[in-house]
Structure 1
């Protein structure tokens, strides 16, 4: 069964700061938006107690634009 997760990202000092609301404590960062799904899958390996198979996970990316 495929797990659906959302990666929320916001630009922060030259990086994209990424959080996954469905996984408490999963925060990471990347230089480019296209790397987010792979980085999130890699970070999921740090949460084996959740029983989520990173290779069977669909990541939706939501970019948060800062308000000026």
Structure 2
């Protein structure tokens, strides 16, 4: 499957879509989903391939650099995912240390602020 980046710019009630790497490909859609589907179809038509073999990454161009706010949101989401992963690893490490110290599952749950059942699940999933 080939992936193409398409640029979508708001024009009145429509998203106007172009594909920079394929000059001459232009389409539009009223909704974001419609614009993405129309871009997929336009690219497939230009390349004479089945639309199922085309993937489109639709990138918004917004007034006053609104796309910067979207990029900031994505960066925040990436940081959140990393923090969640770090918390999960820290939780497993803490459970392993408590277990090694002979602390009961119920006490470990109380210390860590989670249920003893969750301690058991995480303890069973720990590799070390």
- Aligned pairs, how many? 65
Indicate the structure with greater strand content.
Answer: 1
For 1:25, the equivalent position in structure 2 comes to 24
Q: 1:45 to 1:57 in 2, by over 3 A?
A: closer
Are 2:54 and 1:57 equivalent residues in the alignment? yes
Q: 1:54 to 1:60 in 2, by over 3 A?
A: same
TM-score by length of 1: 0.78
Deviations along 1:31-56, one digit per CA (max 9) or x if unpaired, are 00011221112212432xx4544211
| Counterpart secondary structure, 1:21 | coil
Gaps of 5+ in 2: 66-128
Q: Which runs of 4+ in 1 moved over 6 A?
A: none
Gaps of 5+ in 1: none
Q: Of the two, which has the highest radius of gyration? A: 2
For 2:8, the equivalent position in structure 1 comes to 9
User: Over aligned residue pairs, what C-alpha RMSD do you find?
Assistant: 1.9
Indicate the structure with greater helix content.
Answer: 2
TM-score by length of 2: 0.45
